[in-house]
Structure 1
Amino acid sequence: MSSKQLKEIFTGKITNWKEVGGKDEKIVLVNRAQGSGTRFTFGQNVLDGKSAKTSQEQDDNGAVQKIVGQTPGAISYLAFSYTQGNAASKIKTISVDKVKPTDKNVADNKWKIWAYEHMYTTKNPSKDTKKYIDFVKSDDMKKTTKKLGYIPMSDMKVQKDDQNKVTKLDK
């Protein structure tokens, strides 16, 4: 599927899977709720400021995963962690512009639909806060991060700023 087709599906211009080479079946949109970080990321990276077509909205990725897995013709977007493991066995990920949604493709920005999880602290964090940050950046936590279906920051080859501009990291 092309990024243009994906955008046209979520803005309501394409409404049947046969329009994108699939079977003659109505497309059922499932959006994340307004205010969701997942929805914001999808809108910023796919919809280019256009509004998603009104559809059912779900408050969490787990509900979206379940509904898409049980509903013929359904399509949505999820955090990577919900596209892996046993619970994801009833859903299928799709390539966009011939790029598969993999950790490697996110890390080098071949897969364009991604965002960071964030942690914030004061300008001068306490000793305990610094210890916690060191723990989060540790090799043990890197392994845990991967087990949870996320990509450790140390694996990223690019970075995104708050304007969604991507630049290569010097490593």
Structure 2
Amino acid sequence: MSKTSKTVLAGVLMVAFLAAAQSATALSVSGSTTVLPFGAVCAEEFNAVQSAIHVSVTGGGSGVGIKNVAEGNSDVAMASRHVKDSEKEAYPDEEFVEILVAYDAVCIAVSQAVYDAGVTDLSQEDVQAIYNGDITNWADLGGDDARIYVLGREVGSGTRDTFNEMVMGSAEAETPGVTTNHGSNAEIKTAITRSDKAIGYLGLNYVLDGDLVAIAFEGVSPSVETIKDGSYSLARDLIMVTYGEATPEARAFLEFVTGDDGQVIAEELGFVSIN
């Protein structure tokens, strides 16, 4: 084949590809930054095995995702918590439909220097005292004499709501001990690794790669095994949500996510399969 023929053929194939992409039905997924890596990889794989639906995935937090589906800006929400009663009351026209897609856990992580100094296990009372501002120095918990750099999540984060509910006693709990709030799990991870006196909370898959030190909570360290057997008390459901009945396109994607292929992806990313 001549060089000119090859160029023409490449152009024809590109036009055909663009036409196919333009004819695909767009499906928008948004929400939890905890679920985001899972949703993004599932979308990539789903888009690769069929051409009728093109899935795009963005973050923003659980609250943003739920608001997006209720207001028609997304087709599917990702959430690291269940839909709140206040959200149901704010959008009463349809019912939110929750689909369990994986299990996860809220992990308490500290800077490597804090861990090396001996702070490897905290009780619920200890963590409450840190986030309430009652304990402000690591020396009070068996560590070095250093002020605790306390990291929290911004309002709208499902991880924040879960932490507040499970650890602080209420999803609406105040945490006056927090030094800075961050918008995502990734930001919390970065802040902890760049500090020598930090503590923060984030999803399991953000600590399994070895870059962070997850401490034990009430004597139990977070792991796939302790989540499965129920011994780690900060385990949680990860869900995807539609507002009203899912469209055929959304249903197809959700079946992929909860099916064998999607659950393999969940496990590869450090989540616990629903199977």
TM-score normalised to the size of structure 2?
A: 0.51
8 A contact 1:41–1:114 mirrored in 2: no
Which residue identity is paired with 2:214?
Answer: T
Q: Assess, with a 3 A threshold, how the Cα gap between structure 1 residues 123 and 37 changes in structure 2: closer, same or farther.
A: closer
Q: Which residue of 2 aligns with 1:160?
A: none
Aligned-residue identity in percent: 25
- 1:117-166 C-alpha deviation (Å, 9 max, x unpaired): 21234665454444333322222211111112211222xxxxxxxxxxxx
Q: Which residue of 2 aligns with 1:135?
A: 256
Q: Which residue of 2 aligns with 1:162?
A: none
Deviation at 1:69, TM superposition (A): 0.6
1:96 counterpart = 2:213: no
- Runs of 5+ in structure 2 lacking a partner? 1-121
* Greater Rg by CA: 2
- 1:16-37 C-alpha deviation (Å, 9 max, x unpaired): 1111111111110011111211
SS at match of 1:120: strand
Q: Which residue of 1 aligns with 2:147?
A: 26
**Count of matched residue pairs:** 151
Rounded to whole Å, the distance in 2 between the matches of 1:2 and 1:125 is 42
1:12 counterpart = 2:133: yes
- 1:60-117 C-alpha deviation (Å, 9 max, x unpaired): 11111011111121000011111122xx52x211001110011221223321223222
Work out which of the residue numbers 40, 48, 59 in structure 1 matches 2:169.
48
Work out which of the residue numbers 228, 231, 239 in structure 2 matches 1:118.
239
Identify the structure with the greater strand proportion: 2
Q: Which residue of 2 aligns with 1:161?
A: none
Larger RCO (alpha carbons 8 Å, 6+ apart): 2
SS at match of 1:119: strand
Rounded to whole Å, the distance in 1 between the matches of 2:149 and 2:244 is 46
SS at match of 2:150: strand
Q: Which residue of 1 aligns with 2:196?
A: 72
- Runs of 5+ in structure 1 lacking a partner? 155-171
Rounded to whole Å, the distance in 1 between the matches of 2:186 and 2:243 is 32
- 1:27-55 C-alpha deviation (Å, 9 max, x unpaired): 10011111211111100010013421242
Q: Which moved more, 1:125-134 or 1:52-61?
A: 125-134
